[in-house]
Structure 1
């Protein structure tokens, strides 16, 4: 499976998608208009090793909800990601058994190399 979870109105995601082109055979899922299922989030976590690795602590809701003050468990991270797309660290690129999470230069470069060997 080749899939990218992204946010359509996010300029960073748009830039990264352009950088990863051509995206032949890759399914794009815009997570605001097509919410992720529990199964999809579980699949991402099994590839990445944890829900925390998928969780964005930069999300505005993170501070608004006072989550920085709390000790969150893996179940908390899962619940928050499933409930609101903003908590997913974006983009998430899945290429068969590999997962690339976030927008760091190193991560994007690794995804690009895996997508276009």
Structure 2
């Protein structure tokens, strides 16, 4: 499977897609704002990366707004929050076969670019 979960209005996601050329290399794009991530998709990603927390974005504005930074969250909380609010999914999430790249850190983008030859 070659799929990218992203937010089309996010300039960071746009930059990563452009840098890697992933859209031209046969990856299916799913905008999590217009076509939200399904429970089955989220569970599949969790199996590949090991935890819902690894898919959870603490940069989302709602993270602070809802006071989540002051709470101890469980895996069930992370799952529920991601399904309820697309902004809690760390983006982009790129699935390239058995490999999954989560987020926009430089080392993650470099590894993705090396894999797909951007």
- In the alignment, the residues of structure 1 paired with residue 97 and residue 117 of structure 2 have an alpha-carbon distance, to the nearest angstrom, of 13
Equivalent residue number for residue 15 of structure 2: 15
Equivalent residue number for residue 46 of structure 1: 47
CA shift for structure 1 position 35: 0.5
CA shift for structure 1 position 66: 0.5
Which blocks of at least 5 consecutive residues in structure 2 are unaligned?
none
CA RMSD of aligned residues (A): 1.2
Structure-2-length-normalised TM-score? 0.95
Structure-1-length-normalised TM-score? 0.96
Which blocks of at least 5 consecutive residues in structure 1 are unaligned?
none
- In the alignment, the residues of structure 1 paired with residue 69 and residue 25 of structure 2 have an alpha-carbon distance, to the nearest angstrom, of 39
Moved over 3 A (4+): none
Report how many residues are paired: 117
Q: Please list the CA deviations of residues 23-56 of structure 1 after superposition, one character each: whole Å capped at 9, or x if unmatched.
A: 3211000110111100011111111000000000
1:1-117 to structure 2, matched below 5 A, reads 1-22=1-22, 23-116=24-117
Secondary structure of 2:25's aligned partner? coil
